[in-house]
Amino acid sequence: MSEPLPGMGLFAPHTPVEPRPSSVVILYRRAHSGVEVFWVKRERALTFAGGFQAFPGGKLDKDDHEVPVQGAQGEEAALRSAAARELFEEAGVLVAEGASALSPETLEEGRAALLAGTAKWSEWLVRHALSLRAEDLKPAGRWVTPPAIPVRFDTRFYLVELPEGAAASIIPGELTEGAWIRPEDALSRWSDGTALLHPPAQHALQVLSEFTDEADARAKLCTPPYCPGFVAQRIEFQRGVRVVALETPTLPPATHTNAYVLGTGDLLIVDPGSADVKQYAKLLSLVAGLKAEGARPVAVVLTHHHGDHVGGAFAVKERLGIPLWCHARTADRLDFTVERLLEDGEVLNLDGPMVQRWHVLHTPGHARGHLCLVDSRSKAAIVGDMVASVGSIVIDPPEGNMVEYLSQLKRLRDWPVTTLYPAHGSPVPDGPGKLNEYLRHRAQREALILEAVPASGATLAEVVATAYADTPPLLHPVAERSALASLEKLVAEGRVREESFTWFRVGVG
């Protein structure tokens, strides 16, 4: 992404999408040392929470309203129906009166039919004389996806103890893993960065790691901290990597720039990009809460100089009384003081309960002073505008350089990194896969651009009209910038020449 290009006009304020009703089941069983929970891993390509660890669940279906539930009415009944259905489909555990009378073969056939869409949940329950009871699906909290996320859910959580004789398993598809795990071990993986968690799952695991009895667990599950209006105010996908999405004037379809707060004691505040006090106040509120718990802000760090990354930098550093750090090529584009110039190869050490060491990588291409930070322990990377999980990255000459950008994509891939934390959109669990995807896409686009340059010559607009025929014309002014960067690369390689703003294919008769 990038700051808006000249002539693009003002962007309308962000309007959050309406959250869709959904249900999730926290399935647990008793073990010698407490309890174990059944967690699943969502397939990486899924739009929502791809690659994250979660619990069985999904959105409310129209048919869920047709299922009677003893002890519940209306939406409460439908949400419990959805919870029971999703638990059966995703984990193979049927929580219904009469379920123990069904053979394993009947359960397997029913589960497969529901997943394939060849059976209706309401009719299948009636056919096998099964009924749902509200008491079997005990309320365990409510969470609403934050407004910045393009796909949102209003989710009811239910706590279910594994029925006697039942066994949990997944069918590969939307889920790639399913296993029983002690909550303490799950939290260790979250702490190490090998398991990404959204706030509801993190909270549930923390509660169940201290399990004494079901009533106590449910009370704690239903009262999470820092969650006004059921919306999480603390989002920490892995320990010591917190994100606050700030609304900024960035290129659509993105609407926000992610500010990151790194560390478990010493804190770095990365890319406070909004100049709107209502936006950066959210970031300051998080930092104030962490300070009250003993944390210490050390510095504001900028990945690069674009306005949607630096808008609130001066205000945040002044409010917190801390210095600002960035690369020299970022500093010379700012109109306020920078206290420290960061260079490639430096390591930023953050003390705390879990020490972090962030390697500084100078990654020009999108911007001359662009930096990435890579955690030495988990290999997670704060990548600014190197990649995005919503929208695309613009390479805008002369600030942008396609040769450098592609080189730095390869460098990140080969570090190697794990999870990518971009400035725009959600985390990318498969960092190398995403970087390879970007490299393939740029190579494919470059081939189209080269093909669009005839020996007789073409203007930039003519090249874009052909090479970006799959892109809406409204976005062609943006596409022109990256196309120009590719043409400059082709000129440097001797495959294209430029004369009077016209480009000619070399070596074509």
Nearest to 122 by CA among 57, 62, 59: 62
Mean pLDDT of 300-307: 98
Q: What is the pLDDT of residue 74?
A: 96
* 239-251: average pLDDT: 94
Task: Give the pLDDT confidence of 123-169 residue by residue, as tens digits.
Answer: 999 999 999 999 999 999 999 999 999 999 999 999 999 999 999 99
Could you please state the CATH topology (level 3) that the domain comprising 237-439 is classified under. Answer: Metallo-beta-lactamase; Chain A (3.60.15)
Q: What is the pLDDT of residue 32?
A: 84
State residue 12's pLDDT score: 59
What average pLDDT does the chain have? 95
pLDDT tens, position by position, 389-424: 988 899 999 999 999 999 999 999 999 999 999 999
CA separation for the pair 93, 169 (Å, rounded): 8
May I ask the CATH architecture of the domain 20-230?
A: Alpha-Beta Complex (3.90)
In 288-407, DSSP assigns E strands to: 296-301, 324-326, 340-341, 347-350, 356-362, 371-375, 381-384
442-493 confidence digits (pLDDT tens): 999 999 999 999 999 999 999 999 999 998 888 899 999 999 999 999 999 9
As a whole number, mean pLDDT of residues 431-452 equals: 97
pLDDT at 2: 55
Quick check: 508 pLDDT over 80?
A: no
CA 448 to chain centre: 30
Tens of pLDDT, residues 2-41: 555 554 444 557 788 999 999 999 999 999 878 999 999 9
Residue 1 has pLDDT above 50, yes or no: no
DSSP strands (E only) in 363-464: 371-375, 381-384, 420-422, 458-459
What is the CATH number that goes with domain 453-505? 1.10.10.10
Whole-number Å distance between alpha carbons of 18 and 145 = 10
pLDDT computed for residue 10 by the predictor: 45
Each residue's pLDDT tens digit, 75-119: 999 999 999 999 999 999 999 999 999 999 999 999 999 999 999
Q: Provide the residue ranges of all domains of the chain, joining segments of one domain with +.
A: 20-230, 237-439, 453-505
Residues 43-66 as b or e (16 or more Cβ within 10 Å = b): eeeeebbbbbbbbbbbebbebbee
Global pTM reads 0.95
Provide the 10 A C-beta neighbour count for residue 472: 8
* Dist CA 168 CA 306 (whole Å): 49
